[in-house]
Amino acid sequence: MTLVFCVIFIAIFAPLIIPPEFATRMDMRTRLSPPDMAHWLGTDQLGRDLFYRVMLGAKTSIGIATSAVLMSLVIGLPLGLISGYFGGHTDNVLMRLVDTLLSFPALLLALTISAVLGPNLQNTIIAIGVAFTPYLARLIRGEALRVSQMPYVEAARSSGATNIRLIISHVLPNIMPVVIVQSTISLAFAILAEAGLSFLGLGTQPPEASWGLMIQASRDYLDRAPWTALVPGTAVALTVLGLNMFGDVLRDVLDPRSKS
């Protein structure tokens, strides 16, 4: 829990405190130097301070991940809700589409979309967002279906409430726990997805500091300067770890069914 809040705190406040130039300041003489007093976490291949870069990178990586997950929610939530609530043909058609998209590995989808749209920040968000939507939509649909068949929803329906009203006030609140938990986990995967895309050259653009890009840049220097990878790698690991644990805790709290 604390982990997650730490990361979010850094993501929000670091950019306010640290001037952006700190992350791109180069000094060739100190390139690839291990952690020392001048550079707390060492420097990368262009002599940039890794401490500042990883701090500022938090904003980029988390920002992209959050936007991407939000986007997949914006598309996936209504999709899943409508599909699960109305069932029947609507469900069949929509889910057929979703299943088709699910057959494409998420990374492949993201890669292709990135290749089509071009590599920049917005497109990376779109690529990851779209790639994650099918999974989320399916999950939400399952939940919506389950909740829609509950007795009290039936009761509300027969009492004449409109569909929209029912969906918003009855179905939605009940699926929220799952949505929240899943979003948290998706956030973790989104961060990894951003790293993967950057590794293949289609994610964040330099000299922007994002964790994925930093790991990608460290690829050639791993054996003689492992900290260039370990610094962003640890940041990713801690964040993802924190998010996963946070998700677990949330699940235990919000979703009574998962209690064993």
Site string for other proteins, 70-109 (x = CB under 8 A): --------------------------xx-xxxxxxxxxx-
Q: Is 260 in the site for other proteins (CB under 8 A)?
A: yes
Q: Is 120 in the site for other proteins (CB under 8 A)?
A: yes
Amino acid code (one letter) for 83: S
| Count of beta carbons in the 10 Å neighbourhood of residue 252 | 13
Q: Is 180 in the site for other proteins (CB under 8 A)?
A: no
- Calculate the alpha carbon distances from 71 to 59, 108, 126, 162, 242 in Å: 18, 18, 7, 27, 22
Helix, strand, or coil here: 49?
strand
Q: Is 56 in the site for other proteins (CB under 8 A)?
A: no
Kindly state the greatest CA–CA separation across the chain: 76
Q: Is 241 in the site for other proteins (CB under 8 A)?
A: yes
Sign of torsion over alpha carbons 179, 185, 187, 193: negative
Residue list 13-52, contact with other proteins (CB under 8 A): 24-26, 28, 32, 45-46
Q: Is 240 in the site for other proteins (CB under 8 A)?
A: yes
User: Residue 34: what are its φ and ψ, rounded to 5°?
Assistant: -70, 170
Looking at the DSSP bridge assignments, the partners of residue 49 are 43
Q: Is 233 in the site for other proteins (CB under 8 A)?
A: yes
Sign of torsion over alpha carbons 119, 121, 122, 124: positive
With contacts defined by CB under 8 A, name the span among 73-81, 143-151, 160-168, 189-197 that binds other proteins.
189-197
Q: Is 201 in the site for other proteins (CB under 8 A)?
A: yes
Site string for other proteins, 209-228 (x = CB under 8 A): ---x--x---xxxxxx----
Residue list 138-177, contact with other proteins (CB under 8 A): none
Choose, by CB under 8 A, the member of 112, 146, 157, 254 that binds other proteins.
112
Whole-angstrom Cα Rg for the chain: 21
CA gap 125, 105 in Å, rounded: 17
Decide if 138 contacts 95 (C-beta within 8 A).
yes
Size of the site for other proteins (CB under 8 A): 55
Query: Considering beta carbons, is residue 37 or 116 the nearer one to other proteins?
Result: 116
Query: Considering beta carbons, is residue 156 or 245 the nearer one to other proteins?
Result: 245
Sign of torsion over alpha carbons 46, 50, 56, 60: positive
Decide if 50 contacts 61 (C-beta within 8 A).
no
Interacting residues toward other proteins by CB under 8 A: 24-26, 28, 32, 45-46, 96-97, 99-108, 111-112, 115-116, 118-120, 188, 192, 195-196, 199-202, 205-207, 212, 215, 219-224, 229, 233, 236-238, 240-241, 244-245, 260
